Amino acid sequence: MTNDDKIMTLHPQGKTGVNILKRRYDIIRNFIIDTIKNHTEITYQNLTDLAVEKLSNSFDGKVVWYIVTVKLDLEARNIIERIPKTSPHKLRLK
């Protein structure tokens, strides 16, 4: 595997995903899963705020854009889910 390998993301509503660098996907995926594990459930806003705080200095991409993209992919893959009837919306592991 090279640093230029890509992954096509999925979308929970069946929309077309995007091709992103696998190394960036893995960083954000691991961050999202680890953060949800540590909090059991977390609002999307808190997840995004934590990502910006912890990843902005070391991540070579737009953190918020990648959080949105990978979060949707993880929902489509049934790894995480939006908790129904929560406002603002919360996330948890499936």
- Look up residue 41 and give its two tokens: 């459930």
pTM for the predicted model, two decimal places: 0.94
Report the C-alpha gap between 31 and 25 in whole angstroms.
10
Structural domains in the chain, sorted by start: 6-93 (1.10.10.10)
Residues 80 and 33 sit within 8 Å (Cβ to Cβ):
yes
pLDDT one-digit tens code per residue, 25-78: 999 999 999 999 999 999 999 999 999 999 999 999 999 999 999 999 999 999
